Amino acid sequence: MDVFLPIAQVFVNPIEILILSAIVGVLSGLFGVGGGFLMTPFLIFLGIPPAYAVANEANNILATSVSGSTTHYLKNTLDYKMGLMIVIGGAIGTSLGIFTFSYFKGIGKIDTVISLAYMYILAIIGSLMLVESLGEIDRAKKNILVKKKLHVHYWIHGLPLRMRFPKSKLYESIFTPIIIGLVVGFIAAIMGIGGAFILVPAMIYIIKMPTKLVPGTSLFVTIFVSVIVTFLHSFNYGSIDLLLVFLLVIGSIIGVQIGQKLGEKIDSSGLRALMAILILAVGIAIAYDSFFADHDTNETNTSVIPDLNFFSQFILDFSNEMPFFYGLFSIMFAIFLGVAAAFIRRFFSNFKKQMLKKS
């Protein structure tokens, strides 16, 4: 049974969205990367306009990041000082990204820009992941150990204004995390993704943070970047649909928990190659859909707009009449779901430990 989204003004199948978001969540939990670069294209394939897919996936990422970050907070595996430096750059990058988004939306080219961005990003990510995973498989078969250089210096390490980061035990220029945050924020605003696929490697290989602090700090940064992206998209374009966000968050959170459990039990080297192929396939599908597929402009899934129920009408009126407060409510809604998921997970984890002790 299809459901009508009052903000996006399209019909969607809620079961399809729940299943897809759960699958992407499993991949995110399994490989430790954000699933926004897969979920947003899937939403577009389901008929949701790209501008709405970007905004709502950013709100979904906010909820899942809050959930994961709360877990790391409870484990004390966060470097807040480093995270705040990255957030400063992220705020600047997000503002530049929204300005760019507004420009292309104004000239009617934003759908093309989003498609092109995903096409190139997915091609690059998929190719790098495929080469790396195939190399790991080959080295594992030949029992080859590769020694990596511990200290590789780039131009970014020569920047001035150094600061001590006690938690990570680093003495780093403040411009290093700010520049990285700027890039992540810009990409997040345009594509509706958390930017973990850039942030995590940068924190490990450029900033050289301890690995145990990277996931939590990355999620911490993603929260602030996603808050800014969600609010600006909601306030400027009224593109956040709470019904869609709810479906995405529920599926994603369930999928992430499953993926993390699977990641503890299986070797992901071979699966990483399959994920790389999936990413490349999605990139090719976007390219085909954008430049080669025939789109019938006379038949769309918004041709018949039904009478809205009380809840849908409330969302539509709330978004149109009070966009500022609607944006704030969207953020608080995602944060509430994320925190609730984290504490529910902790409750069941503690309950399981207690049962094991008794047995």
In a domain, 299, yes or no: no
Mean pLDDT, residues 91-101:
90
Per-residue pLDDT at 88: 92
In a domain, 263, yes or no: yes
Per-residue pLDDT at 31: 62
Query: What letter would DSSP give residue 193?
Result: -
Angle at 294 between CA 304 and CA 51, to 5 degrees: 60
Domain count, the chain: 1
Mean pLDDT, residues 256-281:
70
Provide the sign of the torsion angle of the four alpha carbons 310, 312, 313, 318, taken in this order: positive
In a domain, 298, yes or no: no
Using the predicted structure, report yes or no on whether residue 136 has a pLDDT greater than 80: no
User: Burial level of 144, CB count in 10 A (0-12/13-18/19+)?
Assistant: exposed
Per-residue pLDDT at 264: 62
CA distance 96 to 30: 32
CA distance 195 to 331: 18
Is there a contact between 8 and 48 (Cβ–Cβ < 8 Å)?
A: yes
Nearest to 85 by CA among 164, 143, 5, 25: 164
Residue 73, both tokens: 């907070």
* This prediction's pTM: 0.75
Q: Identify the domain containing residue 214 by its residue range.
A: 3-293+304-358
> Which one has a higher pLDDT value, 264 or 8?
8
In a domain, 39, yes or no: yes
Per cent of the chain over pLDDT 90 is 3
Using 50, 70 and 90 to split pLDDT, how confident is the model at 92? very high
Per-residue pLDDT at 55: 85
Q: SS3 of 337, please?
A: helix
> Which one has a higher pLDDT value, 73 or 9?
9
The CB-side HSE value for 234 (13 A sphere, CA atoms) comes to: 29
CA distance 270 to 276: 10
Q: SS3 of 12, please?
A: strand
Residue 88, both tokens: 């400063």
Using the predicted structure, report yes or no on whether residue 300 has a pLDDT greater than 50: no
Query: pLDDT by residue (tens digit) across 19-70?
Result: 988 888 887 766 656 666 778 888 888 888 888 888 888 888 888 888 777 7
Mean pLDDT, residues 281-309:
67
CB atoms near residue 19 (< 10 Å)? 13
Using 50, 70 and 90 to split pLDDT, how confident is the model at 217? confident
In a domain, 287, yes or no: yes
